[in-house]
Amino acid sequence: MTQRILVVVMGLFAVCALYAQVDTASITGFVSDTSGAAVPNAKIIVTNVANGVQRSTSSGREGSYSVTALPPGSYTIEAQASGFSKYMQKNFGPRPVGQTVGADISL
């Protein structure tokens, strides 16, 4: 009986460990103007170079943004806000799994 319980408990730990593995990456950053002031509500578009899949978000009141759950790879980052020139950075990427890469943007 004790052996069965031990096997069940070890099986549950194995399943939990599989779910805990991370297979994505993230890009986070801050959007500012040339003086360093935050640019809220800037639209951020992150495009996977390999397959063209896009994810978008907007910068918050403090200018911060985050795009999570990205498959590792190369990305194009675009940002635009009213009254500013469009920003684009090509071949940027969180390559390793589980990595969070910082990408500050100056408009």
Q: What is the pLDDT of residues 76-107, one digit of tens each?
A: 999 999 999 999 999 887 666 778 888 999 99
**pTM, whole model, 2 decimals?**
0.76
- State how far the Cα of 22 lies from the Cα of 100, in Å rounded to an integer: 12
Rg (CA), the chain: 20
- State how far the Cα of 104 lies from the Cα of 35, in Å rounded to an integer: 14
- State how far the Cα of 43 lies from the Cα of 33, in Å rounded to an integer: 14
For 17, what's the count of Cα atoms within 13 Å in the CB-facing half-sphere?
A: 6
| Spatial contact of 73 and 49, defined as CB atoms under 8 Å apart | yes
Q: Say yes or no to pLDDT of 26 above 60.
A: yes
| Spatial contact of 44 and 87, defined as CB atoms under 8 Å apart | no
